[in-house]
Chain A
Amino acid sequence: MNARHIRVIALQELRGLGREKTIVSAILLQLFIALFSSFLMVGLVAMYDPGALGPASADFRVGISGSGDQVEELMDARPGLHARSLPLGDAMAALREGRLSAVVYVPKTPPDADEPILVTVWLVRNDIRSSLVAASLKEVLGSFEQELREVRADRLKQRAVPLAFPEEASGGGYYEFLYGLLVPLLLFLPAIISGALVIDSITEEFQQKTLEVLLSTPVSFPDILRGKVLAAWVLVPIQAGSWMLLLAANGIDIASPAEMLLHASLIALVLILLGSLVALHYRERSTSQFVFSIGVVALMLAVLAVPENPVNLVVRMAVGAAGPAHWLMLGAEAAIAASIAVLVALLARRVIGPGALRNPDARSQEM
């Protein structure tokens, strides 16, 4: 092992990345994923539960017909909805003219009747506001349902363990999305990208036939590999660290960022080494990337299906719910990385044998 050779190779790799400016698209990609998933979350919540965004941003007039006094009271108590009681015929005409956003008809059934109460609601088809009104109406009708249920309570036979909740806090809606999805996503995306990067870098030497030139220099093949792995690896803590800083700047507190970076880096090393293994085996980009990406998806699914997995650990570290046991996990991760490194070294030795530079399949064809 020659440290200077490794450094030269690594720097050459990084310079290549800088020259092509392709790393810009990698950063863009991660930013895109983060922003887009946040949009989906916030946007969906706004679409399905407008109240969650804070004070009502729009006002809707709802026509009420029949015996809807109780519903009208509930509706007026809710900001953003304005109940107007009027005859059904008028209400429907007003709905079609756009003077009302919805019409609600309540029949004259007594609250304690045996039969259910069927409320009819009319909305405008294909109007984006209809879904906002529907979401508000859902809450009002939910309260109405609760009141009716209390009237009929003596007819219910089973009860859940009684739990009394305080008046619900407004916050907390995005907590699990932020810590349970966005943080691990941003922490592990750079690792996956680096895994793909090292495959490109290794297979390119084989397919562009530049490896022969490189090997005619004093640099040994294992050192070339080490340099390539190193270049892909150093990018991980830089990117993941920047995301952590960016999250912190946005007021998202992360409990133990340094330890989380350690875990992310070691897991990234495992992925990069796996990528090298695949690339050395196939020496051809399409197959290597295909096997690697399916493999990574399968690996992630498998890991996530196991309780106490490293990703879960990182999430718990982010919220401050992990104990010192994570050092054990860190040791396990290092051991896995080391054993794959040994495999990579063994496979690398096969590459520099006589006639080994050809495609493995071409070699087997000769035999």
Chain B
Amino acid sequence: MGIHSFCSSVGTIARWEVRRTLATTSRSLIPVTIVMVVLLLLVTGFAAEQGFHLTDGIYLAGTDDPQIASLVAGDPRFEVITGDRGELRQYASHLDLVILDGAVEAAPTERGDAALRTLSRDYEQLQSMIYRQEEDLFAAYPLWIDLRYVTVPVSLGTTEPAVTPEAGEAPTPAGPAETVDTPPATPAVTREELREDLARSGTGATQPLQRYTSLLTGEPATGEFQIPDQIAPPLPFDSLILVFVFIFPLYFVSQFFMMSVMDERLGRKGEILLATPLSPAAIVAGKALPYTGVMLAIALILILMTGVPPVAIAALLPVVLFFLAAALLIGMVSRSFRELSFLSILFSTMATAYLFLPSVFANIHVISLISPLTLIVLLIQGEAITLGQYLFSTVPVFLAGGILWAIGTANFTEERLFAYGPFMQRVTDFIGGVISIRHPYASLALLGAFSIPFVFMIQLLTLALFFNLPLRLSLPLLIIIAAFIEESAKSAGIIALYRIKPAFFTLPAILLSAAAVGVGFLAGEKLLLFATLAQITQTVFAQVLFLSIQSLWMPFLLHATGVAIVAAVLRLGGPRASGAGILAATAVHSVYNLVLIAGVAG
């Protein structure tokens, strides 16, 4: 089929999809959407004006000074009572803070500690507000910092100098001393310019969200020079909220697409579509086209409204495709509306977490670029994006979306759409849909390689989740779960193949498949590592490649062994043994990793 006829079939399906959606969903959908959006805007405006009253009145403070009372009551988290010393002493056991003659005393409880912390942050903010208006600015802010960065090429695996606190004398550099111009003793700008910079950056501290992060008092520095308070890189709070505004509509639109896919399966409605001479790829693409258009249109409107640089849409594009691809699959595997809801909520929460987590660190480290949302944060902050950065942060997401899309398209058949087996079995069948029986090893290797972006995403999230546990517990747990995730990903192809053709797994075939998956998985893993490190170090491509090739044998054997174990267990125990096989492989993998870590540590 030529590209032209493909496009015209996509167009036909897309038109059909628009008509169908308008007919089946309530016809009042568009007016309802407008009403809901207006309502949301009104409520947001109201909330922005009133502030959030979530933690109002959680602390109780008592003071003998009405002036202090009004100061403390300025923060709605405090309820304040005034009284004389005797009365306050009498009620002290009910009070979180007692302030007598300007001396603050906290109750010896957790709540008392928290109240004390909150009040002292409030007081700091009050003070800096007063300092900022001080006529003699350099008496209020006598110290200014000029923060400069040097770029150091990372040397991997070489001698990382251990810090030895007991070594009293200064370190002597191995190389010659550098010639550095003595830095200026005073800022090269006027007092009023500095004051303006302070005033501009001073807005951040009153954000309602920052209430929760009372520790993060770092204010964004807008000028060239900073006061000590501004040194720590600021959290890009405002930009993150703005990014969320961009992502939010994507959920809803992908919900409609998901439901439209599911709808084809209700009462086998989709049979008519499948009976046409159109290819599944054209049907799926055609169905998705209107939703892609709506998502991009909404993004464009938001860009115009918020004044974000229009390039942001390029960063949003992979996210749009990823969401649609996931929606397609969720719509195809769900067996009921409830399952559709749960899977979609679970997916959107985890995808959001994955996409947002790195962009929180946008101002700290370049690795935050693994999320395309970081690009948007940077764009909002007025920074330029290079093509290399764009590719680094969007290619994995494009790739992950593309893989999901391919799986969905390959399984858009009568056999898959109208079957309702147990959930895991359906997932396995879907993976089996992309395995070519004629080229089983190549398929397995590719599946192994393509599972890497997903393994990476899930492992990053688990890392985040176990962060809270004590290290002694979290480290072994992380190793085991990481091994489990990797082994599950690697054996997915094997289990799917076994369901299609159990007789395939003879001993040589088991070994060959294990090798194929091992090679594919390792290649994907190294490619990702390579791209990541190249982005950080920029210069040491060859070194990275060389270093990792040296130690390629051991991980290959490990990956292949895991797959071989699963395949062998399947061969011996039948399809029900797949879980046991993965667990056995996980055990071997974890032991290997633990020994490796113990070896490095010891």
CB distance from B341 to the nearest CB of A (A): 5
Q: Name the A residues within 8 Å of B180 (CB-CB).
A: 88-89, 92
> Please, how many angstroms separate the alpha-carbon atoms of A23 and B341 in the complex?
11
Check: A11 CB closer than 8 A to any chain B CB: no
Contact for B145 among A20, A35, A38, A119, CB less than 8 A: A119
Task: Decide: B123 and A165 in contact? CB cutoff 8 A.
Answer: yes
Check: A219 CB closer than 8 A to any chain B CB: no
Task: Decide: B232 and A94 in contact? CB cutoff 8 A.
Answer: no
> Please, how many angstroms separate the alpha-carbon atoms of A307 and B25 in the complex?
38
Task: Decide: A163 and B171 in contact? CB cutoff 8 A.
Answer: no
> Please, how many angstroms separate the alpha-carbon atoms of A169 and B116 in the complex?
8
Check: A366 CB closer than 8 A to any chain B CB: no
> Please, how many angstroms separate the alpha-carbon atoms of A29 and B394 in the complex?
26
Given contacts A117-B143, A122-B148, contact A16 B171 (CB under 8 A): no
Given contacts A20-B338, A119-B146, A289-B341, contact A161 B71 (CB under 8 A): yes
> Please, how many angstroms separate the alpha-carbon atoms of A90 and B225 in the complex?
25
CB distance from A325 to the nearest CB of B (A): 12
| Residues 12-37 of B at the A interface (beta carbon under 8 Å) | 24-29, 32-33, 36-37
Q: Name the B residues within 8 Å of A26 (CB-CB).
A: 342, 345
Q: Name the B residues within 8 Å of A163 (CB-CB).
A: 68, 71, 99, 102-104, 119, 123
Check: B229 CB closer than 8 A to any chain A CB: yes
Contact for B114 among A138, A176, A286, A309, CB less than 8 A: A176
Task: Decide: B116 and A166 in contact? CB cutoff 8 A.
Answer: yes
Q: Name the A residues within 8 Å of B170 (CB-CB).
A: 63, 84-86, 90
Contact for A301 among B25, B44, B134, CB less than 8 A: B44
> Please, how many angstroms separate the alpha-carbon atoms of A61 and B36 in the complex?
56
| Residues 159-185 of A at the B interface (beta carbon under 8 Å) | 159-166, 168-169, 171-173, 175-177, 179-181, 184
Check: B457 CB closer than 8 A to any chain A CB: no
Task: Decide: B173 and A284 in contact? CB cutoff 8 A.
Answer: no
Check: A216 CB closer than 8 A to any chain B CB: no
Q: Name the B residues within 8 Å of A32 (CB-CB).
A: 346, 349-350, 353, 465
Task: Decide: A311 and B54 in contact? CB cutoff 8 A.
Answer: yes
Task: Decide: B54 and A304 in contact? CB cutoff 8 A.
Answer: yes
Q: Name the B residues within 8 Å of A260 (CB-CB).
A: none
> Please, how many angstroms separate the alpha-carbon atoms of A142 and B232 in the complex?
12
Of the listed stretches A1-9, A129-137, A331-339, A342-350, chain B binds: A129-137
> Please, how many angstroms separate the alpha-carbon atoms of A292 and B563 in the complex?
46
> Please, how many angstroms separate the alpha-carbon atoms of A300 and B57 in the complex?
19
Task: Decide: A162 and B47 in contact? CB cutoff 8 A.
Answer: no
Beta-carbon nearest neighbor of A71 in chain B: B143
Task: Decide: A131 and B364 in contact? CB cutoff 8 A.
Answer: yes
Task: Decide: A35 and B143 in contact? CB cutoff 8 A.
Answer: no
Beta-carbon nearest neighbor of A202 in chain B: B337
> Please, how many angstroms separate the alpha-carbon atoms of A109 and B300 in the complex?
53
Check: B207 CB closer than 8 A to any chain A CB: no
Task: Decide: B55 and A180 in contact? CB cutoff 8 A.
Answer: yes
CB distance from B112 to the nearest CB of A (A): 8
Contact for A42 among B152, B175, B468, CB less than 8 A: B468
Given contacts A144-B228, A152-B139, contact A307 B255 (CB under 8 A): no
Q: Name the A residues within 8 Å of B174 (CB-CB).
A: 97
| Residues 461-481 of B at the A interface (beta carbon under 8 Å) | 461, 464-465, 467-468
When each residue 161-193 of chain B gets 1 if its CB lies under 8 Å from chain A and 0 otherwise, what string results? 101010001111111111110111111000000
Check: B140 CB closer than 8 A to any chain A CB: yes
> Please, how many angstroms separate the alpha-carbon atoms of A164 and B113 in the complex?
15
Task: Decide: A307 and B56 in contact? CB cutoff 8 A.
Answer: yes
Task: Decide: B143 and A302 in contact? CB cutoff 8 A.
Answer: no
Task: Decide: B163 and A286 in contact? CB cutoff 8 A.
Answer: no
Check: A249 CB closer than 8 A to any chain B CB: no
CB distance from B221 to the nearest CB of A (A): 12
Given contacts A44-B360, A156-B139, A201-B337, contact A165 B120 (CB under 8 A): yes
Check: A214 CB closer than 8 A to any chain B CB: no
Q: Name the A residues within 8 Å of B266 (CB-CB).
A: 207-208
Check: B215 CB closer than 8 A to any chain A CB: yes
> Please, how many angstroms separate the alpha-carbon atoms of A122 and B116 in the complex?
35
Per DSSP, chain A at the interface is helix
Task: Decide: A123 and B104 in contact? CB cutoff 8 A.
Answer: no
Q: Name the B residues within 8 Å of A149 (CB-CB).
A: 139-140, 142
Beta-carbon nearest neighbor of B343 in chain A: A25
Given contacts A32-B350, A160-B123, A196-B341, contact A282 B26 (CB under 8 A): yes
Check: A247 CB closer than 8 A to any chain B CB: no
> Please, how many angstroms separate the alpha-carbon atoms of A55 and B544 in the complex?
35
Contact for A160 among B29, B127, B259, CB less than 8 A: B127
Check: B59 CB closer than 8 A to any chain A CB: yes
Beta-carbon nearest neighbor of A184 in chain B: B54
Check: B141 CB closer than 8 A to any chain A CB: yes
Q: Name the B residues within 8 Å of A208 (CB-CB).
A: 266-267
Q: Name the B residues within 8 Å of A180 (CB-CB).
A: 54-55, 58, 212
Task: Decide: B464 and A294 in contact? CB cutoff 8 A.
Answer: no
Task: Decide: A29 and B345 in contact? CB cutoff 8 A.
Answer: yes
Check: B454 CB closer than 8 A to any chain A CB: no
Beta-carbon nearest neighbor of B233 in chain A: A131
Q: Name the A residues within 8 Å of B390 (CB-CB).
A: none
Check: B144 CB closer than 8 A to any chain A CB: yes
List 10 other contacts, CB 8 Å, given A105-B183, A118-B146, A165-B104. Answer: A87-B177, A93-B176, A157-B135, A159-B130, A160-B126, A175-B114, A193-B345, A290-B252, A298-B40, A315-B58
Residues of B within 8 A of A (CB): 24-29, 32-33, 36-37, 39-40, 43-44, 46-47, 49-60, 65, 67-68, 71, 76-77, 79, 99, 102-106, 110-120, 123, 126-127, 130-131, 133-136, 138-152, 155, 160-161, 163, 165, 169-180, 182-187, 211-216, 218, 225, 227-229, 231-233, 235, 252, 255-256, 259-260, 263, 266-267, 335-343, 345-346, 349-350, 353, 357, 360-361, 364-366, 423, 461, 464-465, 467-468, 536
Residues of A within 8 A of B (CB): 16-17, 20-23, 25-26, 28-29, 32-33, 35-36, 38-45, 47-49, 52, 59-61, 63, 66, 82, 84-90, 92-100, 105, 107-109, 111, 114-128, 130-131, 134-135, 137-138, 141-142, 144-145, 148-149, 151-153, 155-166, 168-169, 171-173, 175-177, 179-181, 184, 193, 196-197, 200-201, 203-204, 207-209, 282, 284-287, 289-291, 293-295, 297-298, 301-302, 304-309, 311-312, 315-316, 319-321, 359-361
Interchain Cβ contacts under 8 Å between A and B, 13 examples: A20-B335, A22-B338, A36-B465, A40-B357, A61-B171, A90-B172, A96-B173, A118-B183, A118-B187, A125-B150, A127-B152, A163-B68, A163-B103
